[in-house]
Structure formats: C-alpha cells, structure tokens
A and B are shown apart, each in its own frame.
Chain A
Amino acid sequence: MSSSATTLEESAPGGSASGDPLLVVKDLKVHFPTGDGIVKAVDGLSYTVERGKTLGIVGESGSGKSVSSSAIMGLFHGTNAQLSGQIILDGTDVLTLSEDQMRKLRGRDVAMIFQDPLSALHPYFTVGAQIIEAYRVHADVSKKVARRRAIELLDRVGIPQPDRRVDDYPHQFSGGMRQRAMIAMGLVNDPSMLIADEPTTALDVTVQAQILDLLQDLQKEFNSAIIIITHDLGVVAEMTDDTLVMYGGRAVEYGKTSEILTHPEMPYTWGLLSSVPEVTGDTSAKLIPIPGSPPSLLNPPSGCHFHPRCAFRDKVPGDLCRTTTPELAPGNRGSTHLKRCHLADPEAIYQTEVLPEIAPDLVEQLGEKSGS
C-alpha cells in the first residue's frame, strides 16, 4: 500500500509547482467494533491532495467515502472507532492529536461542507450567529468584527443583501442559499483544506452550477485543496483533477480524472458509468445497473470485494477473484492510473463489451478514427 502511495506522490498530476502535498492519507483504516463483529468501514485507503488541486471521491452509499473524510476532520474522537494509519495534514498527523488539539485545527485548517444544509445548520440560531461562532472560536476578535466578516463572506458567496440576510434564520433561506451559507461558514477561517460531502446533491442543476462555480473561484482565490465527495460522475469530470473510486471501504481505482473517466479499467467504475444516462449521449444507449447490492462491511466478500457483482470475473483465470485480493497497482496505462483488479487487459473488454452498450456513438467515433 505505502509503495503505491509513494508512486502517486511522485507522479501526482499538475507538475506540483509548490511540490508539497497538503494532505497525505496513508493506509487509513476506520473500524467500528459492534456486537456482531468489526465493521471495516475504511480498510487501507491511501491518497494525496495538493494545494490548489481537487480530488473527487466517488462510490455508492456505504463505500466509506464519508467515513474517511470524517476521519480527516477528527470526528471519531470519543467514539469506539478504531483508527490506524496516517492522515498527515500540512505536516501534522491528525490521528495522533488529542481532542483539544484537534479542536484548534478543525474549522481553521480543515473545514467540511455537509450534504444537507437544512440539518447541518442549527434551526434555532440565525445564519449570521453560526458563522460568527465559527469565526470567533479560532480568531480572537470582537463580535462586531466577526459580524462584519460574516457579512463579507455572505456577500462573497453571493447572498443578496448580506447585511440584512445575516440576521435571517436558516428556514428563511432557499436550498441554494443555505448551501452557500454553509460554504461561507466553512471558509470563514480561510482553511487550506476543504471537504465537500455531496455539496450539490440536493440542489437544482442551475444552482448546482452556481455552487460549483463558487467552489472553483474560491479555490483559485485561496489556493486551497478540495475533496469533493459525490456520486455524480459529471461533477467529478468537470471539477476534479484526480479521482478516487471507492468500493467496500477500499480504493478500487485512483488516478487523474481525465484518465479514469475516459479509460476506466475496473468493472465497478464501468458499472457506475453505465448506470447513469448522459444528457448529451446516444439515445440508443442502455442503462445497465450494477447487479446485487453493496457488500456487507461486517463480512466482506473474500478476495476482490466486488467479485460477487462483477460480470467479468469469468475472464480471470482460475478462482483468483474469489481467493486473492488484487493490489491497487498501475495497469497498462502507466503509473498515474492505479486499479485494483485481476483483469489482464481491461481496456479491450471495455472497448468491445462495455462501450457498445452504454455509448454506441463513442464506439462509432473510435471506429472512424481507426479506419481513417
């Protein structure tokens, strides 16, 4: 695991002008002991995010996307969760910090934007009061200064009449405005690392586009690193530099977004791509869902976690998929593209068996190219 993490650090995309990855997660494990056994919510996850870059984490519910991010925020202090591995944020290993030290970090260096702003904002306090509180925890300023800062941020995220709306309660905001208020709260201390957990899932497309614009603008302005957790591959395609596909608590495919989404090599990623229709795609494309349901994290399948749902396990010789867990290792497309799969030539299978079903138009284009 650690070797693959180093490979990625070296070959991280973007040339890395600053050169220092802001966040390095190494072999992270989050296990929850329960009466029935240990739930391995995250089981050996490694990735890096650089300043000014965006990582997209995709996967179904229960794949460990949110749990791994909550670990970065140190939200498992005081629970019975068993954490191991390393989460190095700007040189500090978050996992070794005490709760008091973590409180100083949380909100200041790393902030999180939650999926449902209506339940993440307190209904009893005004939006302004909640932003002011988040600011004054870390900055020793008067209420007046903090209020000015809150208004300034509400203005920055595009809330009209921020000096009046600062005294509104969350229910007086529309869904998009609440999400913007959440972003304002996350940004109030200029964190270098921002985790957005499904930031636009509950929103309309036009509002979603505005929020994504806002995140991109703010990233340019503050040069912060962003992790976007989502299940919308379109958002991943348009927003992120790197993509991490998670399944059953593990990374199954990791690399540059332009690589992963154009030449996916893992049948689970194929499944994700084939189960959503595209708004510009071919109308003869079929929707092919992934059969079965996500694995139990209590008793995960042996070998490759995905093998019970994998349509291509016959193509692997012997019983390898059932018996041996594949390593997250570079495939045929170089060191910037890691996959956890036994298939020897996934590219060929994708081109001949998957693409014709989900994007017949792309196959024709490829055919024309090779023909000419």
Chain B
Amino acid sequence: MSTTEHTEPEKAGEEPEEEPVLITDADIDPFEGFAAAEAPKDAKPILTVDNLRMYFPVKSNGVVHRTVGYVQAVDGVSFEVVEGGSLGLVGESGCGKSTTGRLITRLLTPTGGAINFEGRDIAHLKMRELKPLRRDIQMIFQDPYTSLNPRHTVGSIVGAPLRIHKVVPEKQVLSRVKELLEIVGLNPEHYNRFPNEFSGGQRQRIGIARALTLNPKLLVADEPVSALDVSIQAQVVNLLQGIQQEFNVAFLFIAHDLAIVRHFCPEVAVMYLGKIVEIGDRESIYLHAHHPYTQALLSAVPDVKQAAIGGRRERIRLTGDVPSPINPPSGCRFRTRCPIAQEICAKVEPPLLQIGPKQKVACHFPGDIGHHPAEPITASLLGVDAQGNAVPGETAMGDDALNHPGYADTWYDLGTKSFGRG
C-alpha cells in the first residue's frame, strides 16, 4: 500500500526457482500492473479435456422421484490448458462454464468424457485417490463472503490445507501462513482475525492465499473478480497475473466480463448452452471472431471510447432468452437466436472445425461480420447437402477428426475450402 509509483516490471528476467517445493518468497506488487498476459511458448498441455459431459437428472414431483429428463449442462466440451498458460471460459449465465470448472476440480463427477491432468485421466477417480490431486488443482471462488468460514480465523482457513496434507510440521504452519498472507498483500500479523474483519477485496486475497497454499499447478478461478469493486478488481487481476508469472501456475479463468478475460487470458473459449462454439487465441476471438454468437457478445460490451462519439455502439441484437438446457434446440443450439441461421442449422449440428492455426469455430457459416458464406462450408465434411439432408454415398468425417482437444497442424482453410496449412 505504501508505494504508488508505476515502475516497469523488473522481475521479467528472474527465473522462478526450479521445482519450488513451497512458495516461499515473492514480491508481487499489485499496483504495478501488467500488460495483457502472453501465452507461454512451446509449453506442454497440463490439462486436456476431451468430450466432457455433465447431465444432471431432473426428477419428477411426488412420492416416487422418477427421472424425467436431464439438464445437459456440459455437453461434449474439449479443450487444452498449457503449463503456465491461461484459458478463459466465457459465456452467459447458464452456459455451463462454472459446471466445467467444478468438473475439472472434481467437485462433480462427469457423466462422460475424459479429463487428462498431467497425462492421467482424473474424470472418475475415487475420493481417496483425489486427495493427492487436490494439491495440484485448486479453486478460487466467486463470492468472497460465502466461501470463507465465518467461524474460522484466517490463520486456520489458510493453514487447513497444510494440516490436511501434512505438508509442513504443525510448528511451521503458522510461519507458512504468514508468508502466504504476505504474498497476497495482506498484513501477516492479521492471521488471528476473522473474515468479517476484512473488506471484499481482502477476503478474495484470503481465498487466493488458501488456493496457493499447496503450490498448485492449475488454478480454476470461477468469476474471481466479479463480486469486487472496479478499483479492487484491478488489484486482484494484477495479483493473479503476478502469481502466474512468479510461480508458473496454469489458469482456467471463468468469467463473463469479456474485457477482463481479454486482459488475463491469451486463449479464450466461448460457451453457449453447454457447448464450446468458438475457441482460439486472443487475436482470433477478439479481432476475427467467426461465430455469430461471439460476434454478438463482443458487440454488446459497452465501450468507454464511445464517449467521444456519443450514442450507442452498433451491435448485433440477439432476440429472446437462452433456451432450456433440458430440451435444447436440435442441430446447432444457437440457431433459435442466430441472425444467419438456415435450414441446415436445425438438422445437423456443426462440428468444432479448426479454421486457423489457433482458432476453431462451431458454425455452418463461419465468417467475419457481414461476410458469412452463403453456402454451409461444413456440408461436404458432414456428408449432407446445403439443406442438411443426408447425401447417399457420402460419409461424415469421424468425430475423432473434428472434435479433438488442442489444435492440429492442418486446418480447414475458408478461402480455398480445403484442409491445408492455410
């Protein structure tokens, strides 16, 4: 709190210690600020999610609770997070982004699909097998007021993971807790206080300290700043960026604020009704979005720069509400609100097709705003005609070729309408 100068970051040259057993010392100044995060180069994927599905049963009323349907909260989601990288998951409420986060931290057990963490499928591990995993994957929650136990002191909240996992002897727990509090910018002498003695931003720091206790390799941050005041949001985002640079933690960053995600995540996935509709690096998504939903989302964000021009920004208007995930629309789930939907969209579901070195889009008519193709580009790949009817003799490309996590070296080029290196 003492320094308010905006100096250039000097830590860039410093390498984090090799295999740090415990995070010991860090000098993260949240007032310094960072430019938008860059993707680490040539990093291996630490998390690979393949065709992840989560269906919640819907029970009938009455004495016998029969299952009458399923909420398809997450339906066939595939993506990768690289070591020290961060993937942003955006979408409207109810699109399944938080459920995805809870599946990866295994607070929920998925209905189907694989979650490969460091080469091991953790999708169906038993409770006992999960305990060592919790060291590596931790979570930061949205609401700092309900995610801390009001009857526990900060010392016992942050120290709990150390005691449970017996990382350090009991005598050293307190000194370690103080270190962690210092890392997140809290006064270490406040370990004896209760959460109600802290402000919202400080509570979120306590939540971050707790998540850092076990030196995780992957942090799932579910709306970590949306409950905070604007000026405090920036402090917490800078703290998370500092932690990432210092300790090389990978982030799955779940948020609905597109501007914060753009700043924090070099790679972004856009979800709609349980599916990823577009995924790609920051430039592809924010400058060359090809899915009409991504384009609509981006055009709806109010922009401060508009003050110079006056009036509202031009935007793509979406009509209606998000359909029910119990009974989602056939074919493309976005078609009921899509401005460019055609007959094929109701009949065939578009695959998540790679259309650039780091961009995939699930749309029959992908293109920049105003330049969507007239004919569905996916028809030939799926073995159907332009109206979505099956063509005899034609076969669809297998799911393996179209719905895999990560990016392939070859992709479907929209200019030449064929697979190649672009």
Check if B6 sits within 8 Å of A204, measured CB to CB: no
The 8 A CB mask of B289-325 against A (1 = contact, 0 = none) is 0000000111011111111101111010110110000
Most chain A CB neighbours (cut-off 10 Å) among B5, B32, B34, B229: B229
A272 touches which of B30, B201, B231, B297 (Cβ 8 Å):
B231
A206 / chain B contacts, CB cutoff of 8 Å: 92, 296-297, 300, 318
B12 / chain A contacts, CB cutoff of 8 Å: none
B31 / chain A contacts, CB cutoff of 8 Å: 288-289, 291
The 8 A CB mask of A61-99 against B (1 = contact, 0 = none) is 100000000000000000000000000000000000000
Residue in chain B with minimal CB distance to A275: B234
Q: How far apart are A289's CB and chain B's nearest CB, in angstroms? A: 4
B33 touches which of A60, A233, A236, A357 (Cβ 8 Å):
A357
Residue in chain A with minimal CB distance to B3: A291
B36 touches which of A216, A234, A262, A284 (Cβ 8 Å):
A284
Q: Which of B216-253 contact A (CB under 8 A)?
A: 229-235, 237-238
CA distance A309 to B232 in the complex (A): 13
Q: Known contacts A205-B297, A231-B229: does B305 contact A280 (CB below 8 Å)?
A: yes
B1 touches which of A204, A276, A278, A292 (Cβ 8 Å):
A292
Q: Known contacts A234-B302, A291-B1: does B231 contact A286 (CB below 8 Å)?
A: no
A316 interface residue (CB < 8 Å to B): no
B317 / chain A contacts, CB cutoff of 8 Å: 209-210, 213
Q: How far apart are B100's CB and chain A's nearest CB, in angstroms? A: 17
Q: How far apart are B358's CB and chain A's nearest CB, in angstroms? A: 15
B164 interface residue (CB < 8 Å to A): no
Q: Known contacts A237-B302, A258-B307, A279-B298: does B92 contact A204 (CB below 8 Å)?
A: yes
B313 touches which of A208, A238, A290 (Cβ 8 Å):
A238
Check if A234 sits within 8 Å of B301, measured CB to CB: yes
The 8 A CB mask of A268-304 against B (1 = contact, 0 = none) is 0001111111111101111111111100000000000
Check if B234 sits within 8 Å of A278, measured CB to CB: no
Residue in chain A with minimal CB distance to B37: A283
Check if A257 sits within 8 Å of B307, measured CB to CB: yes
Check if A287 sits within 8 Å of B229, measured CB to CB: no
B369 interface residue (CB < 8 Å to A): no
A174 / chain B contacts, CB cutoff of 8 Å: 321
Q: How far apart are A53's CB and chain B's nearest CB, in angstroms? A: 13
A176 / chain B contacts, CB cutoff of 8 Å: 321
Q: How far apart are B35's CB and chain A's nearest CB, in angstroms? A: 4
Q: How far apart are B320's CB and chain A's nearest CB, in angstroms? A: 8
B124 interface residue (CB < 8 Å to A): no
A109 interface residue (CB < 8 Å to B): no
CA distance A209 to B302 in the complex (A): 8
Q: Which of A240-263 contact B (CB under 8 A)?
A: 257-258, 260-262
A235 interface residue (CB < 8 Å to B): yes
For the complex, count residues of B whose C-beta is within 8 A of A: 53
Check if A279 sits within 8 Å of B301, measured CB to CB: yes
Q: How far apart are A49's CB and chain B's nearest CB, in angstroms? A: 18
A162 interface residue (CB < 8 Å to B): no
A177 interface residue (CB < 8 Å to B): yes
CA distance A284 to B33 in the complex (A): 11
Check if B311 sits within 8 Å of A287, measured CB to CB: no
CA distance A109 to B300 in the complex (A): 32
B282 / chain A contacts, CB cutoff of 8 Å: 283
Q: Which of B86-144 contact A (CB under 8 A)?
A: 92-93
B302 / chain A contacts, CB cutoff of 8 Å: 208-209, 212, 232, 234-235, 237-239
B346 interface residue (CB < 8 Å to A): no
A137 / chain B contacts, CB cutoff of 8 Å: none
B305 / chain A contacts, CB cutoff of 8 Å: 237, 278, 280-281
A205 / chain B contacts, CB cutoff of 8 Å: 92, 256, 258, 297, 300-301
Q: How far apart are B163's CB and chain A's nearest CB, in angstroms? A: 31
B56 / chain A contacts, CB cutoff of 8 Å: none
Check if A287 sits within 8 Å of B234, measured CB to CB: yes
B300 touches which of A208, A232, A237, A289 (Cβ 8 Å):
A208
B194 / chain A contacts, CB cutoff of 8 Å: none
Check if A276 sits within 8 Å of B4, measured CB to CB: no
A1 interface residue (CB < 8 Å to B): no
CA distance A361 to B305 in the complex (A): 12
Check if B233 sits within 8 Å of A275, measured CB to CB: yes
A238 / chain B contacts, CB cutoff of 8 Å: 302-303, 306, 311-313
B407 interface residue (CB < 8 Å to A): no
Q: Known contacts A206-B318, A234-B303: does B230 contact A287 (CB below 8 Å)?
A: no
A145 interface residue (CB < 8 Å to B): no
Check if B1 sits within 8 Å of A285, measured CB to CB: no
A175 interface residue (CB < 8 Å to B): yes
CA distance A61 to B231 in the complex (A): 10
B262 interface residue (CB < 8 Å to A): yes
B286 interface residue (CB < 8 Å to A): yes
A293 / chain B contacts, CB cutoff of 8 Å: 199, 201
A141 interface residue (CB < 8 Å to B): no
A311 interface residue (CB < 8 Å to B): yes
B259 interface residue (CB < 8 Å to A): yes
A-B pairs, 4 with minimum CB distance: A234-B302, A286-B33, A261-B307, A289-B234
18 contacts between A and B (CB under 8 A): A204-B92, A205-B301, A213-B317, A234-B303, A237-B304, A258-B310, A262-B308, A275-B234, A277-B263, A278-B259, A279-B258, A285-B35, A287-B263, A290-B231, A291-B1, A291-B4, A291-B31, A293-B199
Question: CB within 8 Å of A: which residues of B?
Answer: 1, 4-6, 30-36, 92-93, 199, 201, 229-235, 237-238, 256, 258-260, 262-263, 282, 286, 296-298, 300-308, 310-313, 315, 317-318, 320-321
Question: CB within 8 Å of B: which residues of A?
Answer: 60-61, 160, 174-177, 204-210, 212-213, 216, 231-239, 257-258, 260-262, 271-281, 283-293, 309, 311, 357
